[in-house]
Structure 1
């Protein structure tokens, strides 16, 4: 089907586009049934009254060496009308939640050193490694190593996609270059993404993320406001609830599924907080044993309001292979908003992997609550 998509996005001043507002860090809740609020924060800060970060804290390591951060790009497609806003989501196939964006493509990530990189990735040159014992939930005696790998992607075949990926990558680089970081945390956060985008892995991740939307390859031009989209993009550090102890990468799929199924009961039995680590840092999502899920995530918001061609979109992987179907779900269904149109306060992690992130994007009016009174 031939169709034209035009998104007109209003760009905020570039100097503030990438630095989110600060909110006070909440300590771990005394009641594990009550999820704390999440907002973008300096995850290397030490709030009073909580255990200090250890000298070998993983996020401090990443902050001192930003090229070690896993970096992943996500596309968020939404439609807004007088009745509210719908997001395009798909079932979360890894079992950590009911729904996910289905558009995440890593530019940089970790992979076990003894495994060949997955399709579309190569080991970094020069090589970089990290010990498993650097991850907070390691908990074992015999460590192992991960290699840094980078996306190569699949170029060619769709000139429209190639042109779009190039323009968007360049626009993102321009926005980041204009930033003036206020803190070492902001500097590291921006540097991690800039370094990825300056290399082929960044272009490959942008290309792959656009492929996952299902908007390309239909035979017609897809025209988007790439510069406006880049100005509205946001970079958030995501800290997941990980399995503890961290399973070895050779652990069978059956054992990993069992760990994920039993984790809530284990956390309760051990008296741990399911929502925060011991330093008060709020978990953004529930993770498998993939250590690359502690990431710098770049969110690109695509407004598809009014385009009937997008009512049914395929769920594609970064290579363009169909893996299922997408569905449109309301912000209320995804626990982003409550039934009164306010920002929801219940824990969204088991319903929608990106629930906390989309709440923040709604707070910042990057994603609108069309037809819903703006209530905080």
Structure 2
């Protein structure tokens, strides 16, 4: 049996969750409860906990901070979040750093919760049957690369860790490094700025590490560092520039965000990583241009309210311009009509939801504001060439 800790400040939610499922049938023991992050850490210190289900918003220590503490102190513990729509950018970031799944708190049902728990127990079974050293996780691999990027003096064990993490097999023939930023990043509200950066990051992940290989690292929600291996023609002279030109065009077309970038020379040795990063970061960024203040405000509003009913009229009202002026300016500067832009952003988010969660297609459609799942599937296929199920199963 796997031991479960549930962290939720509302007693009624904990009670409802406790009697919602056949825990024995899932092979899970409801071991402990906590009302906040501090209580949860105490329970983890005294109980043998394998799975933690936690709300993201709680008094005192929130779920994100709790997840970080758990990953630092109890790396094998599997974490599941339940949250509300407004927490989406933060939850997705947590998922990316090692949370098993997240559930929409107001609508989660027994089937969806059971599916998330099965993902957690499957990960635990694999971990216990085939113990994998912590050094082999993506998190530690990324951590080592982050460390080397800024190192004044390389750690004494860096070469052994580089080899053991498999990085020598990836970058042994050489690499090239790019620093990627948003050309316009003047949004006043921190939460809106973070949501916009997350959209920027998710999009780049689709077109860099997933399409062309390498590692993409986020640095303080301000810039991304892409480490591209010299392998099979990648990172050859001129290839990085061609990739970045394609990336800049796609990013602007899909999200209305201009890319500012700089990149290093080709390097052959791992110990040259700090030099490669300093060289790229010190260069004057190349940018495809900037959007006007009106369109920056409009796209920021869309980012913040993407899961709501975002319309041209409502956006125009919020940024205090006429509908006709916003419509004309939007098409002129982005090359897309307003509705095309919103749909493209929703389809990008749909790809993330389909890939990173067990939600049914109609649930993803509803979350994105489409009452008709068949219409959502048509839009998705127009955008990707695949139906949602085909995309998930590929």
TM over 0.5: no
Give the number of the structure whose alpha-carbon radius of gyration is greater.
Answer: 2
Larger % of strand: which? 1
Q: Normalising by structure 1, what TM-score?
A: 0.26
Larger % of helix: which? 2
